[in-house]
Chain A
Amino acid sequence: LGKYILRRLIGVIPTLFFTSLIIYGILLSAPGGPAGRYAQNPKMTAAEKAEVLKRWGLDQPIPIQYCRWIGFCNPNGEGLGMFISDKGVPHFLPPFLGGGDNGLVHGDLGTSITTAAPVTDTIGARLLPTAILAGTALVIWIILAFIFGIIAAVKRYTKTDTAITISTYVGLSFPTFWLGLMLVLIFAAQLKILPASGMWDARTSPAFGTPAYWTYFGAKPLVALGDMARHLVLPVITLVITQVAADARFVRASMIDALNRDFVRTARAKGVPESKVRTRHALRNALLPVVTNVALELPFLFTGAFVTESIFSWPGMGREAVAATAEFDYPILMGILIITGLIVVLANLLADIVYAIADPRISYG
């Protein structure tokens, strides 16, 4: 297994490289761009606008921009010289060997075009809010998916199964933006029992993540947690309603498959109580594909939910990605997308490992 993991980890590099290449090409080729904010400004001369593009590196052909972004090219170099660092060695080498310091290979994701903040800082500030929202929603919807899926499987083809199937599909069919907005209008605007948006009550609490917040949290942990819980309710409901259906169907199918297997029939024939047949025999075997599926959903903890975070002004990765898209903030978008790519690849690897651990029959030799 160790060799397998190592092999897979090495495989991550070309996967990410080609992923980034494709994403970068698509992003930069799309119509529009950050220069649009200056396009209609006759007070700036064409030369001044060209200087702005140069500062952002957008004056170069896309392959060179990509080369700089990934860190193989020196922004100060020209021609073949761009592959050489200021210290005269190949630019992709690490700084301590005289290489460059820009680009992905040097751990630099660049600077936001919109805010001039380092991409790593921007992403770093958004991670925890997304993890809190996505993590809460993920746990709840997986639990509900198991409950609904198992009940539907055990009572398959009954009215209960039909009711669960229909209700989960209805939830799945709701457009996220519509559902979120309806919840806001009902519970915030009309009933006034839950906040319309945000992660904390700005009237009583310091902003999340600031030193003042942690002081506040330390002094009043229950109040702070309660406040956050209130703000979590609507976005979590939105996510759970729209996400639970797929997993519930997956659990149901897996459980039905397990319940039809020979070993279940054997257990029943041996007189094992039905409750034990379901939990000890069928469920444990049904878990295998489900656990794999859950592992594949882990990147959601990082990427968040674009639409839900935007509707509820949840200051996470999804909201940031939407804002960056609107502003053509390529460095931010590339940063989010490449880290997402990395986590997806790692989540796949994790799923395979979990699968192997859960089922000793699997061999990765």
Chain B
Amino acid sequence: MRKRLFGLAVAALFAFSACGGAASPSPSATSAQSAAPTGSAEASAPAGKIDITIASSKYKPDAVGNTGGKLLFGISGEPTSLWFGAYDNFANNVDAFSPALWNLWSNTGDLKYYGQLATNIPTVDNGGVTMVGDGMDVKIDLVAGAQWSDGQPITCDDVAYMVEWSLDKDQVGLITGKAGWEDITGVDGGTGTNCVVHFKKVYEQYLSLWAPLLPKHYLQTTTVKKAQTTLYTHAKADDVAKGVYSGPYMPVSWTAGSQLDYKPNPKFWETIKKATAPFDDVTFKFYADPQTEIAGYQNGEIDVALEFNHTHLPLMASINPDEIQGEVGVTYEHTSWNFKHMSDNFGADGAKALITALHYLIDKDEINQRVLAGTAEPGCNFVFKDAWWYKDIPCYKVDPDKAKQVLDAAGFTAGADGVREKNGKKVELLACTRADRDYRVNTLRLIGDQVAKAGIKFNLDHVATDRAVLFSSWEGPDAAAPDAPCNLTRGNFDVTEFAWVGTPDPVSIQYQYLSKYDPTEGDHSGQNYIRIKNPDLDTKINSMNTTVDLEKIKTTMGDIEDFYVNPDNAFPEIALYNWKTVLIRNPKMHNIVNNSTAATQSWNIEDWWREQ
């Protein structure tokens, strides 16, 4: 489905939505898990401290009741490589990658961390992270005795080599860049499994590194420069069988345009899971679009159909509701407002009043009912309710009268045509969104009607914009013309609608809201399209960037959420609703549990099993 709700999954951040999730394995009953304290240190907070739990998921898989046979699962779309987390960040690739290669840590659907190849979730509270001068040491306990698919041991040497490999001068195209890696001064542990990573400064996102952990001995079979084109390739169908893997199922054949076939990775089941693989064969099938994927499921071609969202629910009307799993997830739809444009036209105070009024004018329930047939869950906070830093803040009420009062007080007066104006400029806002997302085009049209009641006019001439123009770079071969209407990077818009994908790491919001990530600044790669420049907000976000104190982060995020949600603060981003992440499954399948994070819905595939 989705050509991509694409996510900057492993890269951490928040990503644009277009389709769908990402992947990671389960906190299930692996030996890694059971051996791990899995956050128990945080679970019972000392008196006076905020109770923060980042590792105790609600997920409890059923014991495998049957083994053997073939599992078929599908998506609409096609993965492109197994290099997810390294050289690419396509959401489709996660479903291909996650059965094959494990991270040190991953995330459950309720946004908790769990160990994959690591048995611990290192935090300050449980002693896994210790502060050393300006830096920090992070303890990583690998699964003792774990082996790669070729029988080589998984050791701290692999952990260390990933740092070296990522920072190599010939390394080109890592989607994580060098961020985090360049702060590491050394990794102790050698060929053992108890590693200590030394950071020269605090790197808050340390749990997003080693995703995945790659085998040193396999990477060393070629040069760093040639790694992407010679390892984990699928130029020929059976090339993938030459790779070295750590996950439950290893790719054995990739038929372009059709399917990816896996066999159980015996070393995983012997040394990591210590169990019998539930399936003898696994096939990941690629469909052209959601409708044919649903038809394929109805026809019995696949056991599990993945990567749908709330917009696809109407297509599932003829499917037994018991077979459909839909949960609200981390992806949230929102409108972004170009604060700089508004300030240039109406002054800073005028812009603030305008945005406050817009908060009160946008009726999200009406959007949900009229555009989305009631399939979404309207909200006003950008943080997913299961996130450990979520603050439950009541939403403000839609209030057109209050909006008009705010506009009147700020000096916006209605012209002869009913459109308000200030400083001789009419409040006519250029609305833009992707042309291939009908529901967004329709939403902006509806919002246009809602705000018109207060004398705000939407210019809908470019409401349906080519994706390549909307999100194109500032410069380079994929850049649109500097004055191209609706280019977000250049700021040629007033309002746009898209979705951000929340991550398990709150600090990733920095790329959206820090002043320095205004795309006009620096190397123009920032995602602060709304051009918010708030020194207080900057201070708060920066303070989280340099701490691993979860309590401090949660408190700070709570402040930011308060600031975001209260219309009087005129935050130039208005959350509309959270997406639902949806899948369909054969009723005989067990342990299919949604996950809207970058781990995607195949996150716990090692726990899946099917009744006879």
Residues of A within 8 A of B88 (CB): 37
Cα A190 to Cα B294 with chains together (Å): 11
The residue among B11, B477, B478 with the most chain A CB atoms within 10 A of its own CB is B477
Cα A174 to Cα B416 with chains together (Å): 49
Q: How far is the CB of B86 from chain A (nearest CB, A)?
A: 12
Segment among B235-243, B373-381, B538-546 that sits at the interface with chain A: B235-243
Give the total of B residues in contact with A, Cβ under 8 Å: 74
**Does B286 count as interface, using CB distance less than 8 angstroms?**
yes
Which of A39, A40, A190, A311 contacts B288, CB < 8 Å? A311
Chain B positions 204-259 with a Cβ under 8 Å from a chain A Cβ: 228-229, 233-238, 253, 255-259
- Are A42 and B511 neighbours in the complex by a CB distance under 8 Å? yes
Cα A207 to Cα B261 with chains together (Å): 8
- Are B477 and A192 neighbours in the complex by a CB distance under 8 Å? no
Residues of B within 8 A of A314 (CB): 257
Q: List 28 A-B contacts (CB under 8 A).
A: A33-B476, A35-B473, A39-B476, A39-B478, A40-B527, A41-B8, A45-B178, A48-B172, A49-B525, A53-B476, A114-B80, A116-B228, A116-B235, A121-B236, A122-B256, A185-B291, A188-B295, A189-B295, A189-B298, A197-B295, A199-B258, A201-B301, A202-B258, A211-B238, A312-B288, A313-B287, A315-B255, A323-B257
Q: Decide if the interface of chain B is mainly helix, strand, loop or mixed.
A: loop
* B contact residues vs A (CB 8 Å cutoff): 3, 6, 8, 11-13, 15-16, 70, 72, 78, 80-81, 88-90, 172-179, 228-229, 233-238, 253, 255-259, 261, 283, 285-289, 291-292, 294-296, 298-301, 318, 466-469, 471-473, 476-478, 480, 489, 511, 517, 523-527
- Are B233 and A116 neighbours in the complex by a CB distance under 8 Å? yes
Cα A35 to Cα B468 with chains together (Å): 11
Q: How far is the CB of B487 from chain A (nearest CB, A)?
A: 10
- Are B286 and A313 neighbours in the complex by a CB distance under 8 Å? yes
Cα A312 to Cα B287 with chains together (Å): 8
- Are B235 and A41 neighbours in the complex by a CB distance under 8 Å? no
- Are B172 and A51 neighbours in the complex by a CB distance under 8 Å? yes
Q: Who on chain A is nearest to B300 by CB?
A: A192
The residue among A28, A31, A125, A195 with the most chain B CB atoms within 10 A of its own CB is A31
The residue among A38, A185, A311, A320 with the most chain B CB atoms within 10 A of its own CB is A38
**Does A303 count as interface, using CB distance less than 8 angstroms?**
no
Cα A282 to Cα B314 with chains together (Å): 56
- Are A31 and B255 neighbours in the complex by a CB distance under 8 Å? no
- Are B175 and A313 neighbours in the complex by a CB distance under 8 Å? no
Cα A206 to Cα B300 with chains together (Å): 17
Residues of B within 8 A of A312 (CB): 288, 292
How many residue pairs at the A-B interface have CB separations less than 8 Å?
222
Q: How far is the CB of B432 from chain A (nearest CB, A)?
A: 15
**Does A252 count as interface, using CB distance less than 8 angstroms?**
no
The residue among B12, B16, B296 with the most chain A CB atoms within 10 A of its own CB is B296
Q: Who on chain A is nearest to B87 by CB?
A: A116
- Are B235 and A118 neighbours in the complex by a CB distance under 8 Å? yes
Cα A126 to Cα B256 with chains together (Å): 8
- Are A46 and B525 neighbours in the complex by a CB distance under 8 Å? yes
**Does A221 count as interface, using CB distance less than 8 angstroms?**
no
Which of A55, A208, A327 contacts B258, CB < 8 Å? A208
Cα A92 to Cα B355 with chains together (Å): 61
**Does A316 count as interface, using CB distance less than 8 angstroms?**
yes
Q: How far is the CB of A230 from chain B (nearest CB, A)?
A: 11
- Are A313 and B257 neighbours in the complex by a CB distance under 8 Å? yes
- Are A42 and B259 neighbours in the complex by a CB distance under 8 Å? no
Known contacts A42-B525, A195-B296; 11 additional CB pairs below 8 A are A35-B476, A39-B525, A46-B525, A114-B81, A117-B233, A125-B256, A202-B259, A203-B70, A206-B253, A311-B288, A327-B80
Q: Who on chain A is nearest to B10 by CB?
A: A43
Residues of B within 8 A of A45 (CB): 177-178, 523, 525
The 10 lowest CB-CB distance pairs between A and B, nearest first, are A32-B468, A315-B257, A46-B523, A33-B478, A117-B235, A189-B295, A207-B255, A39-B473, A196-B295, A196-B296
Residues of A within 8 A of B292 (CB): 181, 184, 196-197, 311-313
Chain A positions 309-328 with a Cβ under 8 Å from a chain B Cβ: 310-316, 319-320, 323, 326-328
Q: Mark A36-75, 1 if CB is under 8 A from B, else 0.
A: 1111111111101101111100100000000000000000
Q: How far is the CB of B546 from chain A (nearest CB, A)?
A: 17
Q: How far is the CB of A303 from chain B (nearest CB, A)?
A: 15
Cα A37 to Cα B178 with chains together (Å): 17
- Are A203 and B89 neighbours in the complex by a CB distance under 8 Å? no
Q: Who on chain B is nearest to A307 by CB?
A: B288
- Are B8 and A33 neighbours in the complex by a CB distance under 8 Å? no
Q: How far is the CB of B508 from chain A (nearest CB, A)?
A: 10
